[in-house]
Amino acid sequence: AIEGLEKAFGVKLSGVKVVGGGSKNRLWNKIRADVTGRLIVTSRIREATVAGAALTAFKGAGRFRSFKEALASMEAGLESHAPGESSGKYDELYKVYLELYPVLAGALKRVKGGRR
């Protein structure tokens, strides 16, 4: 998914911001960093939907001049998870996956019976 976004927008992402329930687990965030080879950044604010609605309301009320300024107000609560030594192992496995997927795609589609 990350590579698809990079290709679609012509950018290289150095990191990914993660919100919601899955962002609470530090081990899971570390695994994500290792697998993607990118910095994973989480917010200590766990209710992202509520926080986003509040920031939008504050922007509308004139508390912030822009959404960029509103988002910057949350930056103090960020936690980073950098890729570790095992990141290279995932790179090798991903290369194998990229070789296998085109070979197996037709068979996997037949196993699913053509359903999405």
pLDDT of 76 > 70? The answer is no
Phi-psi bin for 75: left (phi > 0), alpha (psi -120 to 50), beta? Answer: alpha
Mean pLDDT of the chain: 89
User: At which residue do the structure tokens 């919601």 appear?
Assistant: 20
pLDDT exceeds 70 at position 116: no
CA distances from 116 to 4, 49, 87, 113 (A): 19, 29, 31, 9
Tens of pLDDT, residue by residue over 38-61, are 999 998 777 888 888 999 999 999
Tell me the pTM. Answer: 0.68
